[in-house]
Amino acid sequence: MLLRVRAAVAQLAAGLGAGPGAQPPAEGRGGGAGAGRGSPPPAAFCRPAFLQLTPEELRRADDHTGRAVQSPRDGRRRLPWSTGYLSVLSLQGRKGFYFHYWALFDGHAGSGAAVMASERLHLHICEQLRELTGSADTNQMSNAEDCGEVPNDAVPRFHLEKAVSHESLVIGAIENAFKHMDEQIERERASQHLPGGCCALAAIYLMGKFYVANAGDSRAIIIRNGEIIPMSREFTPETERQRLQFLALLRPELLGKEFTHLEFPRRIQPKELGKKMLYRDQNMNGWAYKKIEEDDLKFPLIFGEGKKARMMATIGVTRGLGDHDLKVFSSNIHIKPFLSCFPEVRVYDLTQYEHCPDDVLVLGTDGLWDVTNDEEVAGVVMEVLTSYEPNDPCRYTMVAQELVVRSRGVLKERGWRLANDKLGSGDDISVFVIPLDVNKLGAHNRK
Amino acid sequence: MLLRVRAAVAQLAAGLGAGPGAQPPAEGRGGGAGAGRGSPPPAAFCRPAFLQLTPEELRRADDHTGRAVQSPRDGRRRLPWSTGYLSVLSLQGRKGFYFHYWALFDGHAGSGAAVMASERLHLHICEQLRELTGSADTNQMSNAEDCGEVPNDAVPRFHLEKAVSHESLVIGAIENAFKHMDEQIERERASQHLPGGCCALAAIYLMGKFYVANAGDSRAIIIRNGEIIPMSREFTPETERQRLQFLALLRPELLGKEFTHLEFPRRIQPKELGKKMLYRDQNMNGWAYKKIEEDDLKFPLIFGEGKKARMMATIGVTRGLGDHDLKVFSSNIHIKPFLSCFPEVRVYDLTQYEHCPDDVLVLGTDGLWDVTNDEEVAGVVMEVLTSYEPNDPCRYTMVAQELVVRSRGVLKERGWRLANDKLGSGDDISVFVIPLDVNKLGAHNRK
């Protein structure tokens, strides 16, 4: 990817009873650095407002040589859940219920989409949940309007009616919030100067459950009693190959005669026409041989592997927000039709397990996971947490800091190096460490 | 589904060194009941040849009132791996290597496709593996031609060349074998009277690894030291909803103006136009509301849930072989474009674990799994195996028999009943129980 920018943001939860005309609350801005509505184009790099950086610190944050690690300056006052890196404020609406919200937006090719998503995605989620409680389908939502609550799981009224759970209504609301966020970026990208796109990873806590929504290559895991529970998967040209190839096969005009939907292990030379070559199509997970034809000389839709895998030789993530203007280099071929703005949402029911203060949900951008695997992260979590008192509100921030420092490494003569002397992550790194001990959730935890 | 027929078959492994013109070996027929090439249309119900049924027993097998459980008459002689239900012969080719093969073909709407697949799928697998060893791409397969063996994992020669493992070549060969099988059924369905379609679940043992290929709603699990390891997933309108909706969205002409690609929890009445209704599209896992439009009054592409889920109100499985003539009832809308003949192939490396004689791979048609879940199957496996000596070659057949009898139930006044008095499976039931103890694999097990 080209220029990358990262905005890490936690957004407040807004009361769902607020009227349709409600303004985004002032606390809702977190992407920082003068990116409010109507403001000038955002800076190339920005940090969340909750970090309360001074102008000098903001400049330091933009210094790619020193690579300072940023964490909140007053964790005790600002972090009600003692979340590592940052936490979340909570406001009550008139008749609403609460949700808590954390999100990471990992931008590329410009910061505009990431900053805007950091300022607005929670409002779209809020809006979708509000529509849910106000919806008037009498079969599914009979009690919804009066009490302003998500309804009880509906009992089918007709034969052959499918029962739809609360959970899947919330999942649908979050999915559509991502779609509306993407549409807003599309509408306003010209007037608001919103270049680029971003991966989005959001964790929403609502009525005793965590909903983890991921569109891109960030990752979330829960560490519970030392056990690792994956809460997301990455969406890349490799993991989404079959979806992308299927679309390319059905809509070949999207390939602009430059690409083939088949995957080959390497570029094919014209002189190899007629010979045999390994390939994979949209139906295959394995590889097989085919005779090389003229069409196979085109560039493969998916090419490269691991961190170097690219779709249309351009982009290494296949879900996210923005990228509406992204084209294949020096061509008129649009990338966006292949990208999905829809997240995969996984649910974790906090009430099903008695959590201890060392159980956490970790959200991290790919800069973390590229050099530190799940087991190593779990090791750092356990190591750091045991060195602090269970009720020390800084302990989760210290975990986040340790994770970022270890993944960045230390600047030596031969570049940024990890403890094992391997290269540290050259990418931006942002991490949340969120405690799962429900006793900490206090009065806001309505089970 | 309509008329269902089941053919359970184990096929011999053929030497891969055999020349391209080699005839299918005579032992290759297992689907039984006079369904050989050029023979008259197969019986409505058939049993594998290895069961060695007498004409009288064949008639009994076709008796849907008595529902006799069939197992091999002389397990000791015929079952070299002591496989439950049946096992597999193994022939050595001139320069070939071995594979062992078991498969279940669960037919619907006629037995023709199931019987033909039972007679030919292993030959297509053989053919694909042979092509693999004979392929001449010098980068990937440099040693393949001379030694007649699957090559060592190739080392990339060029920068940006993807390394392709043995395993993924075998997976590709199996995937393409399913495709060629499906094409053969398509070609010969008129001349050979091959109505209907079938789910196919095949287990191939090759060079120390099990490759389990599944296209349909049969299921395979490994039970190892009491632990359950899933070796397949089911492909149904529910599990493949998003793929089907995506295709319907991109190719609306396939819906014949009768169906909508959206899913609704129930049929919508014309009088509900303009009201709100829950829906899901190809991007969503959750549910959300939309305003009902004219188009939403069409029948949903996917409708119903669980065992009653249907695609286009017609079929309950979305992968398999055959079904080329299947249409929506009293219409000209073809079902086949939505069906995939490609299996998902999962690999289990036998050499990575020291197996005991009680570790098994269980293959079963949906008739088993509909009433007996994974844990119950594991329970029966352990219970039955402990009551036989570890070297008793009948013990795996006894497990298979117990699984089938328990899932069928006992005929009482109120129909076939399970031990807990619930209804037994009214579907056909076929089961393989394959031991994983490598010591039993003898000389054929080349690690």
Q: Give the separation between CA B338 and CA B326, rounded to whole angstroms.
A: 11
Instruction: Determine the straight-line distance between the first and last CA of chain A, rounded to whole angstroms.
Output: 43
Average pLDDT of B296-312?
94
In DSSP terms, B349 is beta-bridged to B209
Residues of B within 8 A of A167 (CB-CB) are: 286
**pLDDT score of B140:** 41
Count of pairs with CB atoms under 8 A, one residue in A, one in B: 150
> Which DSSP category does B306 fall into?
G
Percent of chain B with pLDDT over 90: 59
**pLDDT score of A35:** 29
Task: List Cβ<8 Å contacts ≥24 apart for B334-339.
Answer: B334/B254, B335/B311, B337/B247, B337/B251, B337/B254, B338/B244, B338/B247, B338/B248, B338/B254, B338/B311, B338/B312, B339/B197, B339/B315
**pLDDT score of B97:** 64
A266 and B160 within 8 Å at the Cβ level: the answer is yes
**pLDDT score of B160:** 58
- Contact between B83 and B435 (Cβ < 8 Å): yes
**pLDDT score of B59:** 73
Looking at the complex, does the CB of residue A274 fall below 8 Å from at least one CB of chain B?
no
**pLDDT score of A71:** 64
Percent of chain B with pLDDT over 70: 72
Confidence of residue A169 (pLDDT cuts 50, 70, 90): very high
In degrees rounded to 5, what are phi and psi of residue A119?
A: -90, -20
**pLDDT score of B152:** 42
Q: Give the separation between CA A120 and CA A182, rounded to whole angstroms.
A: 10
Q: Give the separation between CA A383 and CA A385, rounded to whole angstroms.
A: 6
Q: Report CA Rg, chain A.
A: 23
**pLDDT score of A370:** 93
Candidate from A109-118, A229-238, B18-27 with smallest mean pLDDT: B18-27
Confidence of residue B163 (pLDDT cuts 50, 70, 90): confident
**pLDDT score of A196:** 93
pLDDT at residue A88 above 60? no
Angle, alpha carbons A185-A343-A150 (nearest 5°): 100
Select the residue of A131, A175, A243 nearest B289 (Cβ to Cβ). Answer: A131
Take residue A144 and report the two structure tokens written for it: 């919804």
pLDDT digits (tens, 9 = 90+) for A386-422: 999 988 888 999 999 999 999 888 888 888 888 888 8
Q: DSSP strand E in B380-428: where? A: 410-412, 415-417
pLDDT digits (tens, 9 = 90+) for B224-273: 999 999 999 999 999 999 999 999 999 999 999 999 999 999 999 999 99
A412-433: buried (b, 16+ CB within 10 Å) or exposed (e) per residue?
eeeebbbeeeeebbebbbbbbb
pLDDT at residue A93 above 70? no
**pLDDT score of B358:** 95
A179 and B132 within 8 Å at the Cβ level: the answer is no
Looking at the complex, does the CB of residue A137 fall below 8 Å from at least one CB of chain B?
yes
**pLDDT score of B422:** 87
pLDDT at residue B58 above 80? no
pLDDT digits (tens, 9 = 90+) for A312-371: 999 999 999 999 999 999 999 999 999 999 999 999 999 999 999 999 999 999 999 999
- Contact between B131 and B225 (Cβ < 8 Å): no
CB contacts under 8 A, A 9-48 vs B, are none
Residues of A within 8 A of B137 (CB-CB) are: 275-278, 289
Report the gap between the CA of B155 and the closest CA in chain A (Å). 12
Average pLDDT of A50-64?
70
B286 and A170 within 8 Å at the Cβ level: the answer is yes
**pLDDT score of A47:** 67
Residues of A within 8 A of B164 (CB-CB) are: 265, 278, 287
According to DSSP, the β-strands at A310-311 and A100-108 are unpaired
Confidence of residue A228 (pLDDT cuts 50, 70, 90): very high
pLDDT digits (tens, 9 = 90+) for A200-215: 999 999 999 999 999 9
Most confident of A78-82, A184-188, B407-411: A184-188
Q: Give the separation between CA B1 and CA B198, rounded to whole angstroms.
A: 11
pLDDT at residue B88 above 70? no
Select the residue of A139, A251, A345 nearest B286 (Cβ to Cβ). Answer: A345
Report the gap between the CA of B264 and the closest CA in chain A (Å). 8
What average pLDDT is seen over chain A?
Answer: 79
**pLDDT score of A353:** 93
What average pLDDT is seen over chain B?
Answer: 79
Average pLDDT of A69-77?
55
Residues of A within 8 A of B283 (CB-CB) are: 175, 179, 340, 342
Instruction: Determine the straight-line distance between the first and last CA of chain B, rounded to whole angstroms.
Output: 43
Confidence of residue B65 (pLDDT cuts 50, 70, 90): low
pLDDT at residue B278 above 50? yes
Looking at the complex, does the CB of residue B299 fall below 8 Å from at least one CB of chain A?
no
CB contacts under 8 A, B 166-185 vs A, are 167-176, 179
Confidence of residue A84 (pLDDT cuts 50, 70, 90): very low
pLDDT digits (tens, 9 = 90+) for A271-295: 999 999 999 999 999 999 999 999 9
Confidence of residue A99 (pLDDT cuts 50, 70, 90): confident
Take residue A398 and report the two structure tokens written for it: 């210290």
SS3 B11: strand
**pLDDT score of B34:** 28
In DSSP terms, A112 is beta-bridged to none
SS3 B131: helix
According to DSSP, the β-strands at B321-322 and B197-206 are antiparallel
SS3 B114: helix
Q: Considering only the C-alpha atoms of chain A, give the largest distance between any 2 of them, rounded to a whole number of Å.
A: 73
pLDDT at residue A32 above 60? no
According to DSSP, the β-strands at B360-364 and B310-311 are unpaired
pLDDT at residue B365 above 90? yes
Take residue A172 and report the two structure tokens written for it: 């649908």
Report the gap between the CA of A212 and the closest CA in chain B (Å). 13
* Residue whose structure tokens are 């013109």: B21
ipTM above 0.85, yes or no: no
3-state secondary structure chain A: CCCEEEEEEEECECCCCCCCCCCCCHHHCCCCCCCCCCCCCCCCCCCCHHHCCCHHHHHHHCCCCCCCCCCCCCHHHHCCCCCECCCCCECCCCCCCCCEEEEEEEEECCCHHHHHHHHHHHHHHHHHHHHHHHCCCCCCCCCHHHHCCCCCCCCCCCCCCCCCCHHHHHHHHHHHHHHHHHHHHHHHCCCCCCCCEEEEEEEEEECCEEEEEEECCCEEEEEECCEEEECCCCCCCCCCHHHHHHHHHHCHHHHCCCEECCECCCCCCHHHCCCEEEEECCCCCCCEEEECCHHHHCEECEECCHHHCEECCCECCCECEECCCCECCCCCCECHHHCECCCEEEEEEHHHCCCCCCCEEEEECHHHHCCCCHHHHHHHHHHHHHCCCCCCCCHHHHHHHHHHHHHHCEEECCEEECCCCCECCCCCCCEEEEECCHHHHHHHCCC
Angle, alpha carbons A378-A382-A387 (nearest 5°): 150
SS3 B345: strand
- Give the number of other CB atoms < 10 A from CB of residue A186: 18
**pLDDT score of B397:** 92
pLDDT at residue B17 above 70? no
**pLDDT score of B411:** 86
Residues of B within 8 A of A283 (CB-CB) are: 175, 179, 340, 342
Among A285, A290, A339, A340, the strongest candidate for a mutation testing the B interface, having the largest count of B CBs within 10 A, is: A285
